[in-house]
Structure 1
Amino acid sequence: MSLVVPRPVNLSLAAWPGLRFEDAMAAAIRRPPHEPLLGPLLVDHVQLCPQNRGILTPDLAGDLRGRFPQTRFRLHANVRVLAERHLADWADWKPDDPYWQALATRSRSLDAPAYAAHAGRRDHCPLSTLFDNVRQASGLFGCPVGIEGHYPTRGNPYLISDWEEYRALFDSGIPYALDLSHLNIVACRTRRCEPTLVREMLACERCIEVHVSGNNGTGDEHRVLEHKPWWWSLLDAVHDRAVIFSEGNQRRYLRETQGPIQDMTIAR
C-alpha cells in the first residue's frame, strides 16, 4: 500500500518494548521500520519511552546524542532516569521532587524540543491543579511541556478521559500531546465521535506531538496501523510544527507477520 498519510511519521521507541534504549535505536537504524498505512517511519525525531529497559543515565543520554547526531530525542511520560522506578504523571508533579528534577535535567541534556506526560489520576488533584502543574513545569524543562490525555476505564480514575475533559484541555491554553489511538477508545466507550474538536486540536499550535497506533476500541494495544481508523482523514489538519509519532509495536508485528526468528534478530 502506498504512503497516503499527509505528513512524515517518526518513531517512538515504544515500537520495541523491552529493549534497551540504545538497542532499540540501533534496531531502528539497522532495519528501518515500516507500517502498511504509514510507510517508512523516520528517526528525525525519536521518543525515549518507559516501555524501554534500562536507566537513562547522563552518560547514556550523551552517548545517544553522539551516536545518532541527526536525531532529535525527547522523553515521553515516566522514563526511568533514576535507579528506583517512579510512576509519576502530571497529577503527581512536585517541583522539588528528585525524580522530576532528574527528568528535566535529562531532557535539557538531550536538547529536547518538547516533553509530554500523561494527565494522571483524578484522586491526586483536580483539573485546575493539573493545568497549574504543567504551567509550572515548563520553566524547569526549558522547553514546551504538554499533557497527554487518557480514555475511559472502569471507575473513571484518570483525568482527561472523556470528550468534555479534552475540550477543557483545549480551552485551558496548555500545550498537549494528542494520542489518536486513545481517542478511538474514547469514541468507542462513549459511542460518540467529535471530529470537529479533534481537527481543531490537531491544527492548534499548542499541539506539540501526535501519537498514532491501532486498537480495537477497548484498550491501548499499540497495534501497527493496517486499516484506516475513523480519525485517518483528520491527519491533514496537523500543523507544521507538531511531530507525529507511531507507537505501533514493531516487535509484535514482526512476530505475527514474519515469525519469532525475525524478532530475535531485531532484539540482539
Structure 2
Amino acid sequence: RRGRDLVLAAICGGGLALVSYTVMTTAPGPSIADWFLANAYSEGGGTNTVNVILVDFRAFDTYGEITVLAIVALTVFALLRRFRPASESTGLPEQQKLQDAADHRADDRQPGDTLGNYLLIPSVIMQWMFPAIILLSAYLFFRGHDLPGGGFSAGVTLAIAFLLQYLAANVRWIEDRLRILPTRWIGIGLLIATATGAGAFLFGAPFLTAHAQYLDLPLIGKVPAATALLFDLGVYAVVVGATVLMLIALAHQSLRHSRSRDKEDS
C-alpha cells in the first residue's frame, strides 16, 4: 500500500511540476492587455490603464458592478434593520463588568469613566483625521485617470473617514452632528452614472461612450478633460453610500444591544 501511495504521489507531483514548467517557459501569445496599455492614453485620455479600463473601455461592466453594490448595500440594511440580537449576546463583556465594578469602588470615579478616558486621545486624533482623509479622498479621485486612484479607491477612503468617526464616538453622538444620508449618495451616484452614459446618445454614440480632450485654460495651460470623470464621480458616490450604509446598519446594532439590556434591567 505504501508503494502504491508513493507511485501516485510521484506521478501527481511530477505531472504538476511538468505543467508548471511548461507554463513558465512557453512564450505568451498575444493578449488584449497589450492593446489596453498601448491605447489607454490615445483612446481614453489617461495614463492609469486600470482606471481607464474601469471607466472607459469596460465602463458597462463597472456600471453593472456599482448597481450590484447598491443592491447589496440596501439588502444588508433591510435585513439588519429588522434584526434583533439574541438575549445571550446582549450582556456586557466580562472585562467591562470588571472595570465598571472597579470604577464603582473608587470614590472619584463612576462606572465607565476609565473606558471613556482610555479612548479620549484616540478619539480626538480620529476626529482630527476626518478633514485630512476627506482631502486625501478628493486627491485620489481627481488624479485617478492618470495616476493610482480613481472613484473606487477614493470612495473607500472617504468611507473610512466616516467609519473612524463612528469608532471615535458613539452612534448617537455622530448622527446628531453629521447627516450622511447614504441612500441619497447611492441614488445620486447611480443617476450621475446613468446620465453620463445616456448623454452619449445625444451625439449618436453607444451608451457609456466616453470622450477625452485637453482644454486650454488661461494662466493654467492645457488641462485634461474626459467625460469618464463624470462617470467616475457616480462610481465614487455609490461606493461611499453603499459602504457607509452597511457600516451604519452594523453600528446601529449597538443601539439594539443597549435597548435590550435596558429592558432586562427594568
Q: TM-score, normalised by structure 1?
A: 0.18
Whichever structure has more helix as a proportion of its residues is 2
User: RCO greater where, 1 or 2, for CA within 8 Å and sep 6 or more?
Assistant: 2
Q: Which is higher, the Rg of structure 1 or of structure 2?
A: 2
